[in-house]
Structure 1
Amino acid sequence: MSSAYLRGLKKSLTGNLEARLVFLCNFEVEHTWAHNYVGLPMPKLSSAPATVQRMEELGALLAGSGDVICLGAPLDPGFKQYAADLGFRLPTELVVPKGKPGASTGERILASPDTLRRLAALADGRTYLMPMGASATEQKVSESTGLPLAAPDSDTMERVNGKIYGRRLVEELGIRPVPGECCETVDELTAAVRRGIEEGKPLIVKESYGVSGKGLIVLDTPVKAERLLRMARQRTARTGSRAIHVVVERFLAKKCDLNYQFTIDRAGGIHFDFVKEAQTADGVHLGHVMPTRLSATHLAELEDTARRVGKRLHTDGLFGVVGVDAILGADDTLYPVLEINARLNMSSYQGPPTERFLSSGAALAKHYVLDLEAPVPFHEIESVLGPLAPRGPADAGAVITCFGTVNAEADRRPPFEGRLYTMLFAQDRDALAALDAEVRDALSAVPPIQGIR
């Protein structure tokens, strides 16, 4: 039987507990949404596209045995057996033929007549395409196969996922905002940055469709601020356009970052799913810890915010999973909406493992960055982490949730970077820290691993 978490998603997204979902976990969707918007005038850093695409394997532990997952490469046989031994019933794999370099799994589906036929054969009235977020690519897959989306259309999802949209929604609803403002022209950016710098506090400038530390710059000196504005003016001189789509936020001293999720069903009903403490560094997501140490007052405020934001999103045509980033300030002031991610998010994929192994105690979801000299076979990872795995439901231990990202960059000249996604379960946070150290020590014994971050 699939997890209660998954059954709840199916009920909310399709109205049918027994629906079959075809997962297309397009972690790169923000890059597609960003195409129509002008970002920061900076060189675009590589987003490790091979690694990002292989993150689609995180969907294997979310999906149930009756579901299907579309993948650019098959799951490792050793990982599949490992997951089965832990009690997970994995979905059917639909491996998409290789296409042009850099193409997403969705783009490769559209370029493969055979894959389109195989997906079309699944259309039976109870089977839905479940993207992480719908862009024009996923909508075209839906239209080409007859599989209805278990998500809103791509125009709706693009519109409600911009940071500018989110700030304006917060202002409209009278929710306590993170101090800042929206900028849609270079003149507005110039005024906002200079106002902020005069206050003497660092500023964070974010592209409306940036994600996980990409499309973000910290301005902590007047020199950096003027450099950014000069680059914006130079681009305007080159292109003749003064457009830019960013938000400028004041830096806040904080106790912790938060991430909470709620689900809007098709009729507009809202279910508060969970809240976790988010671990970040320089704007980059590193992991989640749960449960949080929030007060009952703060939890009630988050639940009320979810209800209000969810109602407003549904008015704008949205249903489905919504992840919200929030901040608990150093003075205990709660800023309940920093960003709205109206799509599946990293926390969404952690539902079934959490349900299976966390009955009490604490959990930490994180990835380990591995500096590798050569590809690592799964059995080498399992041989050192196997003794740390839970022995059964509700037991403590370390669970591998995605292995494909470890060797995703193996075609590069070594050393190359791999990521091992995990969830750790223990009786409390101190025990989590000890288990984290054990995992690091164990991984350091694997010969191709030259370093762990």
Structure 2
Amino acid sequence: MARELVAGIFDAESFWRDENLARLPAIRDKDRERIVLAMDELMFPFCGSGDALLTRFAMEEAHKAYLASIGFSFRHLVWEGDDASANLFQAMASEQERDERYGAFDTLSPFAVVPHTREVIAKYEFSNEVPGIDTVKRVNSKIYSARLTGELLGKGFGKPVYSAEELSALGRGLLAEHGSALVKDPFGVSGKGNMLLQSQASLERVASYIRRQEGEGKAVAFVIEPFLDVECDFSCQFDIMRDGSFHLVGLQKIFNRQFAYLGSESMDAAGREALERAGYFDVLLQAAGRLYKDGYFGPVCIDSMLLKDGTLVPIVEINARKSMGFINHRLDQALQARSGKKGFFTFRSVGFKERFDYEGWLEELKRQDILYPNRQGNGILPLSSATLLAGAAEAGADAPAGGNLRKGRLYMTIIADELPERERYVERMRLSFESKGGKWYG
């Protein structure tokens, strides 16, 4: 069996986006950017026996030992180059010498195809193929999703706009008919790149902001749609094979808040059967066929939703890459093989002044019967250490100046029999973390 080098970046959209495109108003968050760089550690469920995970930052040894103890054994490689580029593949491709650690593997398994992925495959003579970057950029644009939906279904909610005036005109119509309008950047991601407009004044402020960028020579491309009354968000994960065949991976219920991703759990059999009766998978097969015809093959995650009036929206947007849903599916496969259980994949943002003893914290969680697997075979499975401690990654354990907190993010899977039990586990973990002097947000 081919040995894989699992690697990649979780901010692929920033490398697909044309720098000459106008942007929506936003505040840059450097803490988020650093955390996103560390998220590559979340790919460990993709590793099988003989595979390796390459990450930008080191993972805590205690964390790797814990994962190995519950069945996630993998070789871990840490990037050793000096290039601080956010695009790991660009850094790998630009190194003058080959790193023979990578040459020991047969294929590269990227989270997403970004610029320089093909160069890395060629440099290390990996045997797998990936689609061209121009194709990947095209099919990941929300403009592509909006157009494909219209072509497959004869109608769609989202409409592409290519000027500030067009944005203003369509926005006015949506505000009059629906009372709100949602503007999406073609390469926006969860919690970033979407803007909800609920008044004429807010619409004109955004149009004016875009108009100024037009005056600076920026091109305009957004999607505008009504803000829909959603009952349930969900996603479907599948692979388009090199020969064009379709392989269904799984379905995930998605939990969002104000456009920001909160968590996922695998959909039950009743949910899958309801979607099959509604013709959902027929639409997916058509979408997969079009993606392949347009030159794409590989992993795909399609976001979908069910509205409160019963309307099924099979394609909200297309993510032609791996996703949190793929990760949670692999986690659930491992959990079910071990204990017949499934988890709820989520995260919490945290803050702390001093880097704490991660190994000691895991031991404390185990003593308190919070760490998976506890005496009931449930508990919380921590998925990340580098994202948690990303704020302390740059230099030692000194507290930041001015009383500010270092920011991090803890990803986890919660295994519980009932929702109240899940909530109790999270509350107990919060208390444990805050006993270390940390801050638990949300």
Q: Same fold (TM over 0.5)?
A: yes
Q: How far apart are 1:54 and its partner, in Å?
A: 0.6
Q: 1:35 and 1:448 mapped to 2: Cα distance?
A: 42
Residues 347-388 of structure 1: CA distance to partner in whole angstroms, max 9, x if unpaired?
Answer: 212233211224656521001111211123321331233232
Aligned partners of 1:197 and 1:222 also within 8 Å: yes
Q: 2:142 and 2:132 mapped to 1: Cα distance?
A: 19
Q: Structure 1 stretch 149-158 or stretch 399-408: which is displaced more? A: 149-158
Residues 292-332 of structure 1: CA distance to partner in whole angstroms, max 9, x if unpaired?
Answer: 57373324433222212111111112222111111111122
Indicate yes or no: 2:100 matched with 1:118. Answer: yes
The equivalent of 2:424 in structure 1 is 434
Q: 2:68 and 2:374 mapped to 1: Cα distance?
A: 12
Matches within 5 A, 1:353-432: 353-358=331-336, 363-386=343-366, 387-391=369-373, 395-410=377-392, 411=394, 413=401, 414-432=404-422
Indicate yes or no: 2:320 matched with 1:334. Answer: no
Indicate yes or no: 2:128 matched with 1:128. Answer: no
Indicate yes or no: 2:127 matched with 1:151. Answer: no
Q: 1:331 and 1:362 mapped to 2: Cα distance?
A: 30
Residue 166 of structure 1, aligned match among 132, 145, 160? 145
Report the CA distance shift for 1:433/1:43 in structure 2 as closer, same or farther (over 3 A).
closer
Unaligned runs of 5+ in 1: 1-17
The equivalent of 2:182 in structure 1 is 204
AA aligned opposite 2:70: L
Q: How far apart are 1:97 and its partner, in Å?
A: 2.0
Q: How far apart are 1:175 and its partner, in Å?
A: 6.5
Q: 1:361 and 1:198 mapped to 2: Cα distance?
A: 48
Aligned partners of 1:204 and 1:219 also within 8 Å: yes
The equivalent of 1:222 in structure 2 is 200
Matches within 5 A, 1:219-298: 219-239=197-217, 241=218, 243-292=219-268, 294=271, 296-298=273-275
Residues 178-221 of structure 1: CA distance to partner in whole angstroms, max 9, x if unpaired?
Answer: x2311123332222212212224211111101111212211111
Residue 60 of structure 1, aligned match among 2, 26, 44? 44
Q: Structure 1 stretch 198-207 or stretch 49-58: which is displaced more? A: 198-207
Q: How far apart are 1:162 and its partner, in Å?
A: 0.5
Aligned partners of 2:6 and 2:46 also within 8 Å: no
Q: 2:127 and 2:222 mapped to 1: Cα distance?
A: 33
Query: Aligned residues: percent identity?
Result: 24
Residue 352 of structure 1, aligned match among 330, 333, 350? 330
Report the CA distance shift for 1:283/1:128 in structure 2 as closer, same or farther (over 3 A).
same
The equivalent of 2:397 in structure 1 is none
Aligned partners of 1:72 and 1:105 also within 8 Å: yes
Indicate yes or no: 2:301 matched with 1:312. Answer: no
Matches within 5 A, 1:57-136: 57-90=41-74, 92-114=75-97, 116-118=98-100, 121-122=103-104, 127-136=106-115
Q: How far apart are 1:131 and its partner, in Å?
A: 1.2
Large movers: runs of 4+ above 4 Å: 359-362
AA aligned opposite 2:88: T
AA aligned opposite 1:198: A
Residue 12 of structure 2, aligned match among 25, 29, 33? 29
Aligned partners of 1:39 and 1:244 also within 8 Å: yes
AA aligned opposite 2:166: E
Indicate yes or no: 2:34 matched with 1:50. Answer: yes
Aligned partners of 2:174 and 2:181 also within 8 Å: yes
Report the CA distance shift for 1:112/1:93 in structure 2 as closer, same or farther (over 3 A).
farther
Report the CA distance shift for 1:77/1:273 in structure 2 as closer, same or farther (over 3 A).
same
Q: 2:18 and 2:127 mapped to 1: Cα distance?
A: 25
